Amino acid sequence: LHFHPFPVVCSREDTMPHSIVHQRRSAFGNLKLDDRFFHHLLRREKMNQVEVAQDFDIYLMETGLMPLVLQGLDALSRHLDKLGRTGGLCGGARAPFNPLTWLAQYLLRNHPAKVRDHRTPMYRQFVELASVERGRRALLRKRGEIQNAWKEIEVSRERHSLKLPDVPPMLVKIDEKWNLKGLLSSQMPKDYTGILRPPLGKDGVKFEDFWRWFEGFVTARDLLRQETLLEAERQKKQEELEAKLLEEAIQQHEIAILGVLDSRRHMLEQFDALIADVSINLEIGQMLNQDAVMVMEPQENEESLPLQGDHAALIASLLESWGYLSEDSAVEDTWDEEAQGAWEEWCENAGLNGEVVHRDGLVPLMDRPAFEKHVVATLPMPEQPRNYGDASSHRIVRVKKLIDNDSKVEVKAVGDQNDGAMTFDVGEEEAAEVRRRLAEKQQSLAASPLLAHADFRNNCLVKLLPGLGHHD
């Protein structure tokens, strides 16, 4: 916006020249600040370019600066007319009248941000009109994206134009891409017959023909506001971020579950190997079958198994498996005070007398089902990922068997003792992989259970998880 500087006015004429008066009246005589005035001052050339400077005209209108300047010029013109009639342009000994200073003072006194008067509704109307115009321009600046969607449908149809019935689906595709949830496509025509006219002898229209109509359609309506487009874009990015975080959380959850199951399997394998050694140990056999005991400080004439030997190391290892001795314990093959203290704690928890090592305390120490429950309680399943979108429908399940002619699988949620068996549909490739993995497990080629990531909302398996020891 450019203004030619006013000269300092000094004239002792009783009136201003007739030509100046006439020009002033022509410029400001019909000043009416309404929506027609708003649209008349907008710059329509290069409207679909991206540069922010192209929207400076909207800025001048929505902030009220343009109408304020025009009001100021109108007031200045009337003030000059008054001064000219009264001979006050020079004012005797006073400094000559400066129109620029007067106009600057007017703008400061009447700025829309500071003044609330009869003009306030007008300024608010300009803000609303500016919002509508920004929305139109934001939509028209997306011509490239709309054209790409148009071309994609052309390619899929193997054509160089689109038939009229293809136009609404193209706009629905654009609506979905921009995450508008129907705000654009719902306001567009459903049938373009009579709106877009294919050339004579042709059955389709070019994008350029569509765009000429679309540009006029948008310009004449309040379809979308710029803030709506920006909010839709923000929500789309947020949803994509949440989906990414959810996927990462689920992957970490899968890895954590595999780690827990692997640790459980390792503890059970160690326990089984330990029980195998216990079952062939002579001294422990005497405890179990002949009521022999091992006493830390036997009394005179009291029989006791020796406090040193493999049997002492095996019993200490059992106590370590149950968590009553730490892994860095100094107990080896000698039954010492540390081992005796662990044994007494074990017996106390079992409701037994732990002064001596005896059969009643050894039997529950070797109970495999009880130890398996201990392992599950010691190594619980990790919690499902939370706060990353809708993770509640995603679970890790144990695949039990194929049913219904291998079209479904029966599964059970991992770590949930209350849930019963559930079924999910599977495709041929998934069924073949399940069949192979279950066969390996049955032949003891794979000791680990067959796990899968399941989506309970959509009733499907997302993927089968790798076997334990092969998940990295």
Q: Which two tokens stand for residue 231?
A: 């909010």
Instruction: Compute the chain's Rg from CA coordinates.
Output: 43
Q: What is the average per-residue pLDDT within 68-94?
A: 77
pLDDT digits (tens, 9 = 90+) for 202-246: 999 999 999 999 999 999 999 999 999 999 999 999 988 887 887
Q: What is the mean pLDDT of the chain?
A: 82
Predicted local distance difference test score (pLDDT) of residue 115: 82
Query: Which residue is listed with tokens 């495709």?
Result: 427
Residue 262 has pLDDT above 60, yes or no: yes
Tell me what pLDDT residue 469 has.
Answer: 47
Beta-carbon contacts of 463 under 8 Å, excluding residues fewer than 6 positions away, are: 452, 453
The answer to pTM > 0.85 is no
**Structure confidence at residue 14 as a pLDDT band (50, 70, 90):** very low
457 φ, ψ (degrees, to nearest 5): -65, -45
pLDDT in tens, 296-349: 888 877 789 999 999 999 999 999 999 999 877 767 788 999 999 999 999 999
Q: Higher model confidence: residue 27 or residue 181?
A: 181
Q: How many residues does the chain have?
A: 472
Query: What is the enclosing helix (H) or strand (E) of 221?
Result: none
**Tokens describing residue 394:** 């995603």
For range 10-34, the mean pLDDT: 47
Q: What are phi and psi of 175, to 5 degrees?
A: -60, -45
Query: Quick one: average pLDDT of 82-95?
Result: 66
Q: How many angstroms separate the CA atoms of 68 and 31, rounded?
A: 12
122-131, 268-277, 313-322, range with the lowest pLDDT: 122-131
Q: How confident is the model at residue 416 (pLDDT cuts 50, 70, 90)?
A: low
Buried b (16+ CB within 10 A) or exposed e, 313-329: bbbbbbbbbbebbeeeb
Q: Which of 160-169, 232-241, 437-446, 450-459 is the least confident region? A: 437-446
What's the sign of the alpha-carbon dihedral 301, 303, 304, 305? positive
Which carries the bigger pLDDT value, residue 439 or residue 357? Answer: 357
Q: Confidence class of residue 153 from pLDDT cuts 50, 70 and 90?
A: very high
Return the pLDDT at 43.
Answer: 61
Q: Which of 144-153, 258-267, 340-349, 380-389 has the lowest mean pLDDT?
A: 380-389
Q: Determine the pLDDT at residue 468.
A: 55
Which range among 183-192, 250-259, 275-284 shows the weakest confidence by mean pLDDT?
Answer: 250-259
Task: Average the pLDDT over each of 82-91, 159-168, 186-195, 317-326 and give the range with the smallest value.
Answer: 82-91
Residues 178-194: pLDDT tens digits? 999 999 999 999 999 99
CB 409 within 8 A of CB 423: yes
Assign 35 a pLDDT band (cuts: 50, 70, 90). low
What pLDDT was estimated at residue 127?
A: 84
pLDDT at position 33 is 67
Taking the chain, what is the end-to-end CA distance rounded to the nearest angstrom?
65
- The 3-state DSSP class for residue 356 equals strand
**Is 90 exceeded by the pLDDT of residue 287?**
yes
Q: What is the pLDDT of residue 18?
A: 45
Higher pLDDT, 215 or 247: 215
Give the confidence band of 31 by pLDDT, cuts at 50, 70, 90: low
Residues 6+ apart with CB under 8 A from 334: 307, 308, 312
Q: What are the tens digits of pLDDT across the range 107-118?
A: 899 888 888 888
**What is the structure's pLDDT at 171?**
95
Share of the chain above pLDDT 90, in %: 43
User: Helices 143-157 and 207-219: crossing angle, nearest 10°?
Assistant: 140
Segment 20-30 shows an average pLDDT of 44
**Quick one: pLDDT band at residue 5, thresholds 50, 70, 90?**
very low
**Encoding tokens for residue 465?**
């998880």
Q: Please check the confidence at residue 49 and state whether its pLDDT lies above 80.
A: no
Average pLDDT over every residue of 62-85 = 85
Q: What is the pLDDT of residue 27?
A: 42
Given pLDDT bands bounded at 50, 70 and 90, which one contains residue 151?
Answer: very high
